[in-house]
Amino acid sequence: MDKYRLNNLRCSINTTRIYSTSFSLGVRLLDKQYRDHIYSIYGFVRYADEIVDTFLNYDRTTLLKEFQEDTWKAIERGISLNPILDSFQSTVNECRIDHALIKAFLNSMEMDLHYTAYSKRDLEQYIYGSAEVVGLMCLRVFYVNDDEAYEALKYPARKLGEAFQKVNFLRDAQDDYQNKGRIYFKNIDFDNFTPQAKQTIEKEIQFDFDEAFKGIVQLKPQVRLGVYLAYRYYLRLFHKIKTARPEAILKQRYRVSNPQKGILMFKASVRNAVGIF
């Protein structure tokens, strides 16, 4: 079984590294005891996201339903022939991850199949399930045996996920709106995206980042640097988007270059080491 589990875990690790170099860098800065579980979580959410966002020429509804069923079977049985799901179920069962978080995530994936415009309430539900619960899963891994710390840090963990997701909405607006017909922000007309509308969204995101930061500085040293680097990376991406004109959002996908990521990692490491954030 050891070889089987290791092989499945490596599928999750490879998935993380192929799809997200920035997230991979953050995971590598976590203490070793946490890395494999975070890779497993990422592999799971990435596969679900691929179904709803990429498999456009396939029956995504059926594929997602089968993925959901296989997820619960894997968790219940403690094993799966799907390497990603086997890796994920090990993390869920070992780290006592609340099944309600998984259910909320899968519900948000379903929403992506059926919604093109979101009301305020729908958007809150979607962001909670697609992003906030992922932060809570990771937080449980960090504090698997410390319920008090987990409860105390839940709010900033949710706000960090919310900030990341809203930045993603702006970063991916071109593809979401023009190719998939999705509008995540209620009452936003991307055909007439004004500076005022953009600034309103950015104000919300800045608040989320500020609230999340209060929790990051309270994290245990073994995980703080990895989370802080992810925070700094997304903050840098957010600042690039803030300086862009509204009409430019629909013309290109903004990113942080690899040299900039290296600089961010160096600065984050120094700040973490001296305790000055």
What pLDDT is stored for residue 228 in this prediction?
Answer: 95
> Residue 83 has which token pair?
């390497």
pLDDT tops 90 at residue 119: no
Q: Where are the domains of the chain?
A: 2-274
pLDDT of residue 102: 98
Give me the residue label for tokens 């069923």.
69
For the chain, the average pLDDT equals: 92
Question: Residue-wise over 52-80: b if at least 16 C-beta within 10 A, else e?
Answer: bbeeeeeebeebbeebbebbeebbeeebb
Half-sphere exposure of 149 (CA within 13 A, CB side): 13
Phi, psi angle pair for 117, to nearest 5°: -135, 145
Say which range, 149-153, 183-187, 205-209, 216-220, has the weakest mean pLDDT: 183-187
Secondary structure of 37-80 in HEC code, one letter for each residue: HHHHHHHHHHHHHHHHHCCCCCCHHHHHHHHHHHHHHHHHHCCC
Q: What is the pLDDT of residue 211?
A: 98
What pLDDT was estimated at residue 185? 76
Average pLDDT of span 229-235: 94
Mean pLDDT calculated for residue range 136-165: 97
Tokens of 259: 């040299």
Q: What is the CA radius of gyration of the chain?
A: 18
pLDDT attached to residue 254: 87
Whether residue 43 contacts residue 87, with contact meaning beta carbons closer than 8 Å, is answered with: yes
Residue 203 sits at the vertex; the CA angle it makes with 202 and 207, to the nearest 5 degrees, is: 115
| pLDDT above 90 coverage of the chain, percent | 69
Q: Please give the Cα distance from 115 to 110 (Å, whole number).
A: 9
Looking at residues 78-93, what average pLDDT do you find? 98
Statement: residue 133 has pLDDT above 80: yes
pLDDT tens-digit readout, 190-210: 778 888 988 999 999 999 999
Q: What pLDDT is recorded for position 262? A: 87
- DSSP letter for 190, please: G
**Which of 81, 125, 84 lies closest to 103, judged by CA?**
125
Stated pTM of the model: 0.92
Report pLDDT for 215: 97
The stretch 153-161 carries a mean pLDDT of: 97
- Does position 234 have pLDDT exceeding 90, yes or no? yes
Class at the top of the CATH hierarchy for domain 2-274: mainly alpha
Q: Considering all CA atoms of the chain, what is the largest pairwise distance in Å, rounded to the nearest integer?
A: 57
Tokens of 26: 């953050």
pLDDT at residue 277 is higher than 80:
no
Written as one letter, the residue type at 174 is Q
Q: So what's the pLDDT on residue 240?
A: 94
Please compute the mean of the pLDDT values over residues 45-74 and round it to a whole number. 96
